[in-house]
Amino acid sequence: MAKVYKVSKEPKIGKQKQYKFAQRVKAFHFPVFSNWKLLVIFTNNMAKTLRKYPQTRCIEKESGDYALTVNVPKEDLTFVVLPHDCCLRTVAHEAFHAMEHILGAHDISLSGEIGAYHMGYLVREISKWRSTL
């Protein structure tokens, strides 16, 4: 069973402009951790993004869900799903959950230097990639 972490945010006030579905996906691999695959997805429609992947199809998007991390341990796979307009705080929050799980699956504590290094690496790489979108 996939383990899901969610972030909730107050809904925005006022009428929301409707955009066409748009998502960007980037895969990160961690060779030292069984070549674990981390899919980072920026989307403007989380429910639609979740329906796209067999591993996330069963996850119900609730109205307050803003960003989430889905771990699929049997496949050495983690999804981080973020809205396009999220702030760095949310990127770091979900990166934490992803690294917590990846390191935890290898009996490594997130609280030491290995965890701190990987957190820094992941947040920097997601930010660098996002700046090109």
**Residue 96 within binding range of Zn ion, rule CB under 5 A:** no
Residue count, binding to Zn ion (CB under 5 A):
1
Q: Helix and strand tally (H, E) in the chain?
A: 3, 5
Nearer to Zn ion (CB atom), residue 34 or residue 64 = 64
**Residue 5 within binding range of Zn ion, rule CB under 5 A:** yes
Nearer to Zn ion (CB atom), residue 99 or residue 131 = 99
Nearer to Zn ion (CB atom), residue 36 or residue 66 = 66
Q: Are 34 and 106 in contact (CB under 8 A)?
A: yes
CB neighbour class for 52 (10 Å; exposed up to 12, middle 13-18, buried from 19): middle
**Residue 53 within binding range of Zn ion, rule CB under 5 A:** no
What are the CA-CA distances from residue 21 to residues 18, 43, 52 (Å)?
9, 8, 12
Residue nearest to Zn ion (CB): 5
Binding site for Zn ion (CB under 5 A): 5
